[in-house]
A and B are shown apart, each in its own frame.
Chain A
């Protein structure tokens, strides 16, 4: 009999304690960010898709060594370069990133010894078409320079 009533009593008390907690939370300020209206800045090391880095002349740093291509676990990088007449270094002519397969692992950036690729801070990448995710990084670089 005592156990019966003490259980009811303790149960009721526990319910009121819980309600007290939610009551307190009710008056605290909200903590969320209402996304499309406010955005957070991405942190310094945020790993977005990759982007080419240019040198002072506006040309990509890349020397077409192909290390990134080989490092990529998903085979999303395809690049090509050619050696113009009389030059020592190769010049990048094509750098395609297939973002549909990229796992944002960062192996490519780490494998590059020439400071030629970096992570972008872009994350608004929704689209209904697959082709939108095949990035031509050279074209993007030119766009940025314009």
Chain B
């Protein structure tokens, strides 16, 4: 596939549309889901099942004035929300949704996604620093230490998977799992590895995804009961909207990665009819779990969060890495 300029533009436009549509309707799904959990109806007035709520909210946000607080660093203040959205969209470009649906497959796809993911922390730092608000500042400091702490176990677990697959190419990783559910990296009873610890790796990876995307119970950056709204305290209008979309886009990326690395991508559990629908089904099931978790648990503390990462997740994932390396050597 030769990469022409047109190709890239089309891919980026589709990625933006996909990210925006997802963000909008995930907000809707989250509100409806949360409401159901709390035995309320949720947004149900605008349109059937309240489906018009997200676009109307979007219009409302766009109609508002973008206020820049006095004393704020204007450039960074405006750049931060854009920067929150940008890496997520770039990551979509390399994610394979099925055998054929991928904008640009790269043999180092994983590296690229992680590279962009670590930029997310930067946007939070910019937002917190530039708003000239103590709450925002505290939140952004938290967010950065959180991002640093959770990237490590996440990468270690990813390396485990990469070792099993022997490739950094996302397509290749999925192909190796495609035979049946028993070849998936989460239950690798058949296939390349016979690592019985992989379910734990999956849990570690999933936890890290929650933390990386600043989702409850690790939403310390937002922590509305302490830091008001965290790093986006001072943002209104579409600035806030972009942060929101960025957050949901990140959730989609994180879930995509989980699906690809552990749940066999677009392959079917029984080896039949592989295709994009399986990918989307798994993806949205995972996202539903995200929502479900958010509305169940209280928030952790910042030291609880760092303890979890440094004392539990990193040692366990390191152990699993060594274990896997040993297994690969033996078999």
Q: Contact residues of A with B, CB < 8 Å?
A: 8, 12, 15, 18-19, 21-23, 25-32, 34
Contacts and interface: CB of A to CB of B under 8 A. Distances in A.
B15 to A, nearest CB: 32
Given A26-B33, A34-B41, 16 more contacts: A15-B297, A18-B296, A18-B297, A19-B296, A22-B37, A22-B295, A23-B292, A26-B37, A26-B292, A27-B36, A28-B39, A29-B39, A30-B36, A30-B41, A32-B39, A32-B41
Interface string B284-301: 000000001101110000
A19 B293 contact: yes
Most buried by A among B203, B295, B296: B296
A15 B217 CA distance: 11
B40 interface: yes
A30 B293 CA distance: 20
9 contacts: A12-B203, A15-B297, A18-B296, A25-B36, A26-B36, A30-B36, A30-B40, A31-B40, A32-B40
A87 B38 CA distance: 64
A31 B296 CA distance: 19
Interface of B: 33, 35-41, 44, 203, 292-293, 295-297, 312
A22 B296 contact: yes
Main secondary structure of the interface of A (DSSP, over half): helix
Nearest to A34: B41
B38 A25 contact: yes
B217 to A, nearest CB: 9
Nearest to A23: B292
Most buried by B among A22, A32, A34: A22
A20 to B, nearest CB: 9
A12 B39 CA distance: 26
Contacts of A32: 39-41
A23 to B, nearest CB: 7
A18 B37 CA distance: 12
Contacts of A15: 297
A15 B297 CA distance: 8
B37 A25 contact: yes
A19 B38 CA distance: 13
Contacts of A34: 41, 44
Contacts of B297: 15, 18
B39 A30 contact: yes
A114 B164 CA distance: 90
Contacts of B37: 22, 25-26
Contacts of B293: 19
A27 B292 CA distance: 13
